[in-house]
Structure 1
Amino acid sequence: MLVLVMFLLIVIGAAFYGIGPVGWSAFFGLSLVYYSFFTSPSLICLLLLWPLFIGLVLFLNFTALRRQYISTPIAKWARDVLPEISDTEREALEAGTVSWDGELFSGNPDWRKLHELKKPVLTQEEQAFIDGPVETLCEMLDDWEITYQRYDLSPETWQFLKDHGFFGIIIPKQYGGLEMSALAHSTAVMKIATRSITAAVTVMVPNSLGPAELLLMYGTQSQRDDYLPKLAKGEEIPCFALTGPKAGSDAGAMPDKGIICKGEWEGKEVIGLRLSWNKRYITLAPVATVLGLAFKTYDPDHLLGEQASLGVTCALVPTSTPGVHIGDRHLPLNMVFMNGPTWGEDVFIPMDYLIGGEENIGKGWSMLMNCLSVGRSISLPALSTGAGKLSCLTTGAYSRIREQFNTPIGYFEGVEEALAQIGGLSYLMDSARTLTTSLVDQGEKPSVPSAILKYHNTENMRQVVSHAMDVHAGRGVIKGPRNYIARVYQAVPISITVEGANILTRSMMIFGQGSIRCHPFLLKEMDALHNPDTNQGLVDFDKALFCHIGHSTQMVVRSLVLGLTHSRLASTPAGISYGQHYYRHLSRLSAAFAVVSDFTLMLLGGELKRREKISARLGDCLSQLYYGSAALKRFADDGCPEEDQPLLDWAMQHSIYQLQDALIAVLNNYPSKPVAVLLRGIVFPLGRRYKKPNDALEHKIAQLLMNPSKARDRLVEGVYRNTRPDDPIGRVENAFLKKLANKEIDQKIKQAVKSGQLEHSDDLEVFAKRALELDVLSEQEATLFREAEEAVNDAIQVDAFAADELPGFQSD
């Protein structure tokens, strides 16, 4: 019995660490030799075991035999089960690169690779830009004037943006741009967003969704030389028109077309395109001087070749071109950034208007996928993180200075719960933002992480800002120059909608793209199955298939063993002083996710495209693995500060709990109940073990937001911040700091009131004078008390308007 137990333990250990076909052959061979010669086996057992072992060795190690009898039948079955990949989907899959997201999908992430990524740090030049022009821009911006009075940035602001290179952040210096990193780009957008969403959108679009990146990656040298210096200086204002009335998230369904034909251009007959389009929701379109345009290209007269339908193409069209219509504006809630429709009918353009020239006809979708994946990973995550940081700064301060029942409202447990989510989710958003920008700056094009951040950072923004509004209550809902949170709240649906609607992103993109792009073997198998060279395809499929089988077996055992040991056998990276157990839990859940993903892909195949709820929940699993690992990386990069431990604890417990919930939701709705029971036993052999952050932890984070500290400063780093009493943000921060500086004075006042020595009065001057007369306060203390209370009273006020100050007012 002892020998059998030892044998089983060795088998489990070998499977846990994955020893490969040769290792398994050697192990079973030695075990069978031992069994045959050192025990007393029956002849029947030997006659059964030896042929079984020989067959196992043959099929594991002799590929020709294996291909004929195993891989060929499986390949025939797999062609029917695995999803078909359209040309559009393939271009989306091939866009971008796989990096840390692939490690998480593998089921056994190598944490060294995460920590080998350089800590994202701004250069001196970039920091000077943030501290100089970006800070100055924020000081210039009056969000109330922008959104209520002008419905636009001021002319001075537009000129400042042009003069200081805000439209050329990503453009190389050789073309007159700033050539800054993804981190600097993200940090600039994030800071501006804490002052004005309108200004942030105006800056971010030319640097992430405009033609500049397309020109850098795909443009001809003459196009770069012509356009990039003008874009960098703001002499040209760009926009990119992709979406239309019938092609939103499904941009591949665009009806806009370009017909290749002959036409007159500058007095000569040339081959060009006659364009017709109808686009909407195009940011900067009303003021654009150059229009980036995506359309489907057709060659009905075969002027370029035999093929009539050539696919999506991208062009740059000056808006002064006859037939181009711009100028009308949409009004996206109250953000009032420049956004509007553009249309044209039979607009003739020459071939050199195509981005990259004639050779890039039909390559537009691939071009867009590569550029959009980078833009999505920078712009909206930065804007969302800025909203989170602003909420942390202002809601923490407001919760401390606003009192009810003679107690700061932040001390009430209901408000504590909201503050904890504001702080914890903002920490997660910022961690994911910095991890992803560091990937971009190291040459990656993180397509799957960009979808993860697009969805989860904007959804987290929704939660954070909603909590901030709840805490501010009336102070948050009354519009006016004093209000610093309402416009951010109104921006949430815009962030949710643009660059791929969140419902689609979650239900189809994250796992739909990630399952094929990030899986260690699935894309290789699919490519092999569709290889026109069937012999080579079978060779490649066989290799990928048996690697896949070995990997899946390892993941099943890892998931079960780590589940039974509550992750204790998982490895952790060296040099980490706090949080090792979180690495182990993420490793365990990564293995569990890999197991459930493999079974789901095998069971549903192409049907997974239509099972969007299952795909969405599996996408949530991958997303929480990414956010959890980002928080660990950020904590390590910060030097594992003890004062930040509550933020890390909340972030990790939240992500792990959400991950557990998503896996359970998948299994509760699994298409096969017997398989669901089997998977539950493998993935959660001891049931649910992870819990939400508890009340004590929430209390710590609430206190962190309501008290000045290095941890609070790190959490809100990058937000526009001042203490000017005439500024919307400054007056709250000013009152917060003065109030906290008066802690001992406040305590004296409250003790005197409680003992009956001092009678409360709503008249601050009378009250302070009485406290001075009764020697409750010294003259200096009375002055400080009065100044702090005046600052608090001013900070909690809301705006009110005379009737003739309101739009539409008509006097009698």
Structure 2
Amino acid sequence: MNARATNPLDFFQVRELLSDEERLVQDTVARFVDARAIPLMRECFEQHRFPKELIPEIAELGLLGPSIEGYGCAGMNAISSGLICQELERGDSGLRSFASVQSSLVMFPIHHFGSEAQREKYLPRMARGELIGCFGLTEAQGGSDPGAMRTRAVRRGDEWILNGSKMWITNGNIAGVCVCWAMTDEGIRGFLVDTDTPGFKAQEIENKFSLRASITSALFFDDVRVPDSQRLPGAAGLKGPLSCLTQARYGIAWGAVGAAQACLAEVLEYTGERVMFGRPLGGTQMIQVRLADMARRITSAQLLALQLGKLKDRGVMDPAQVSLAKWNNCRMALDIARDCRDMLGGAGISAEHGAIRHMLNLESVITYEGTETVHQLAVGRALTGLNAF
């Protein structure tokens, strides 16, 4: 009888392609997820609660703004930041979403588009987890068309007056600062809105069946006055927010691998122990074919994410490449989560198993930061040079 693969979750030994530092980052985050996060996730999902008590530990490990140099950030490379997302999402998509928004959608634009005064004001506190941020781009009527935003900012002397609303905003109700994108007479601009500013309101969205261990909010701006010093001086037009989304999508491409690995690990254990008609389920041809297909798809996604990380570290990553990775890896993870839920039989709908939690979460992950169709069209545009949006 042949021995089982050394690591069924890393069939092609992708880990051997990592540097010692990258492996150390992965191992450190994996230990945290196993010991602290996973034991909480079932309860948090059931209670519709984000585990805020983990934020200080996440910050202490250097997982907030990990790729930023200076300002109290860890200054890791792109592959390390991807591995962080992979391990966090192995615990739960809500955990990775929290870190992605903080790092890619708030700290990144402050660092990339902000003034030095803004960087000094916000980034060190955000790296320590003392200040949480949210990213106000999506609007209820806009969806995948951010250029149709109705939130407006009108300049009055040295101030801007913001009016409008945002929808499906992660971290909204715990954020101390919002990166708000608004239409102005000169086009789209970004503003740093402290959430204690009069006229700002965050309202948590309840009754979700996905990302229940994550805070999702609607934001409202009613004559919110923001000094011009809070405008992001380096951001003009849609290029600003879209570049932020590229950073977040990069992390999602890695994170989806972790969710799929969690589901495969669970179903491997279950089918090895569950006896039907006198033999383990894992000893049947149909189950083995399905497990083998999962290993094939996870391996492909791992290698795709790794190469994307190498391109990012070299500074040559193209947004269309990120679109392909986000599309491929989210589809892979969602299909695997659904199949694992099925292979668990009736037990698969129970919170005792994680597959249905990951499956429900991934329905959101495949939708946010650009739907599957949006990314397919982005890749199609890169192939043909023709815009079909």
Q: Structure 1 length as normaliser, TM-score? A: 0.44
In the TM superposition, what whole-angstrom CA distance separates every residue of 1:628-660 from its partner, at most 9, and x where no partner exists? xxxxxxxxxxxxxxxxxxxxxxxxxxxxxxxxx
Contact kept in structure 1, 2:181 and 2:188, CA below 8 Å: yes
Quote the Cα distance in structure 1 between the aligned partners of 2:316 and 2:291: 35
> How far is the alpha carbon of 1:158 from its aligned partner?
2.5
Contact kept? 2:66, 2:103, Cα under 8 Å? yes
- Rounded to whole Å, the distance in 2 between the matches of 1:216 and 1:152 is 26
CA distance in 1, matches of 2:106, 2:88: 22
Pairs within 5 Å for 1:769-788: none
**Superposed CA offset, 1:340-380 (max 9, x none):** 11011221111111112xxx46x141122223223212x21
User: Which ranges in structure 2 are unaligned for 5 or more consecutive residues?
Assistant: 1-15
Aligned with residue 358 of structure 2, among 488, 501, 506: 488
Q: Greater share of strand residues, 1 or 2?
A: 2
Quick check: which has more Rg, 1 or 2?
Answer: 1
How far 1:228 sits from its partner (Å)?
Answer: 1.2
Counterpart pick for 1:354 among 205, 226, 231: 231
Residues 331, 502 of structure 1: alpha-carbon distance in 2 compared, 3 angstrom cutoff: farther
How large is the RMSD of aligned CA atoms in angstroms?
Answer: 2.0
Q: Give 1:202 shift.
A: 1.6
Q: CA separation in 2, counterparts of 1:446 and 1:292?
A: 24
- Aligned ranges for residues 184-199 of structure 1 at < 5 Å? 184-199=80-95
Report the counterpart of residue 140 of structure 2 in structure 1: 245
Match of 1:254 in 2: 149
- Are the equivalent residues in 2 in contact too, given 1:328–1:340 (CA < 8 A)? yes
Cα separation, 2, equivalents of 1:239 and 1:180: 22
Give secondary structure in 2 for the equivalent of 1:492: helix
Aligned mate of 1:285, from 172, 175, 178 = 172
417 and 405 in structure 1: CA distance in 2 versus 1, 3 angstrom threshold: same
Q: Does 1:319 align with 2:208?
A: no
Q: Tell me the distance in 2 between the aligned counterparts of 1:434 and 1:160.
A: 26
* Aligned equivalent of 2:115, options 220, 231, 234: 220
Residue 410 (structure 1) aligns with: 282
Alpha-carbon offset, residue 123 of structure 1: 4.5
SS in 2 for 1:325: strand
Name the SS of the counterpart of 1:313 in structure 2: strand
- Shift, 1:420, TM fit: 2.0
1:491 shift after superposition = 1.1
Work out whether residues 253 and 326 of structure 2, in 8 Å CA contact, stay in contact via their aligned partners in 1. yes
- Cα 1:376–1:140 change in 2 (3 A) is same
Greater than 6 Å deviation, 4+ residue runs? none
- Say if 1:514 and 1:312 are closer, same or farther in 2 by CA, change over 3 A: farther
Counterpart code for 2:59:
K
Partner in structure 2 of residue 632 of structure 1: none
Residue 202 of structure 2 aligns to a residue whose secondary structure is: coil
* Equivalent in 589, 597, 609 of residue 388 of structure 2: 609
TM-score, length of structure 2 as denominator length:
0.89
Which of 354, 366, 373 in structure 2 is aligned with 1:503?
373
- Matched with 2:317 is 445
Q: Which residue number in structure 2 is paired with residue 201 of structure 1?
A: 97
Instruction: Specify the code of the residue in structure 1 equivalent to 2:388.
Output: K
Q: Call closer, same or farther: CA 1:154–1:138 in 2, change over 3 Å.
A: farther
Give CA deviations for 1:646-680 in whole Å, capped at 9, x if unaligned.
xxxxxxxxxxxxxxxxxxxxxxxxxxxxxxxxxxx
CA contact (8 A) 1:374 1:446 kept: no
AA partner of residue 360 (structure 2): Q
Task: Label 1:154 to 1:213 Cα distance change in 2 as closer, same or farther (>3 A).
Answer: closer
Aligned partners of 1:128, 1:416: CA distance in 2, in Å?
Answer: 33
Distance 1:329 1:150 in 2: 10
- Given the alignment of the two structures, is residue 342 of structure 1 paired with residue 237 of structure 2, yes or no? no
2: distance between equivalents of 1:231 and 1:154? 14
Greater fraction of residues in helix: 1
Work out which of the residue numbers 515, 525, 535 in structure 1 matches 2:384: 515
The secondary structure found in structure 2 opposite 1:609 is coil
Give the match's secondary structure for 1:167: coil
Q: Which runs of 5+ in 1 are unaligned?
A: 1-118, 263-270, 299-309, 517-605, 611-812
Over 3 Å counting, the alpha-carbon distance change for 1:514 and 1:320 in structure 2 is farther
Mapping of residues 404-803 of structure 1, within 5 Å: 404-479=276-351, 482-506=352-376, 508-516=377-385, 609=388
> Residue 335 of structure 1 aligns to a residue in which SS?
coil
Query: How many angstroms does 1:137 deviate by?
Result: 4.2
State the partner residue of 2:183.
296
Question: Is the 8 Å Cα contact of residues 254 and 295 (structure 1) preserved in structure 2?
Answer: yes
Distance (Å, rounded) in 2 between the aligned partners of 1:134 and 1:415 = 28
2:67 corresponds to which residue?
Answer: 170
The answer to whether 1:146 aligns with 2:5 is no
1:687 equivalent in structure 2: none
Give, as a single letter, the amino acid of the residue that structure 2 aligns with 1:160: E
Query: Which deviations, in whole Å up to 9, do the C-alpha atoms of 1:576-620 show, x marking residues without a partner?
Result: xxxxxxxxxxxxxxxxxxxxxxxxxxxxxx6x737xxxxxxxxxx
Deviation at residue 486 of structure 1 after TM alignment: 1.6
Higher relative contact order (CA 8 A, sep 6+): 2
C-alpha contact (below 8 Å) 1:273/1:350 kept by paired residues: yes
Aligned residues of 2:338 and 2:356 also touching (Cα < 8 A): no
Quote how far apart the aligned CAs of 1:514 are: 4.0
Aligned partners of 1:514, 1:291: CA distance in 2, in Å? 36
Partner amino acid, structure 1, of 2:159: G
- Residue correspondences, number: 371
Identify the residue that residue 79 of structure 2 maps to in structure 1. Answer: 183
Instruction: Return the letter of the residue paired with 1:149.
Output: Q
For the residues of structure 2 that align with 1:274 and 1:433, how far apart are their CA atoms?
A: 41
The 3-state SS of whatever aligns with 2:201 is coil
Mapped contact 2:133–2:175 kept (Cα < 8 A): yes
Tell me: CA distance 1:330–1:450, structure 2 relative to 1, closer, same or farther (3 Å). farther
Question: 2:204·2:215 contact (CA, 8 Å) conserved in 1?
Answer: no
> Is 1:422–1:467's contact at 8 Å kept on the other side of the alignment?
no
Mapped partners of 1:284, 1:147: distance in 2: 16
Q: What's 1:700 paired with?
A: none
Counterpart amino acid of 1:446?
D
CA contact (8 A) 1:418 1:471 kept: no
Q: 1:161 is matched with which residue?
A: 58
What does residue 575 of structure 1 align with?
none
Distance 1:332 1:171 in 2: 33
Query: What is the rounded CA distance, in whole Å, between the counterparts of 2:131 and 2:111 in structure 1?
Result: 16
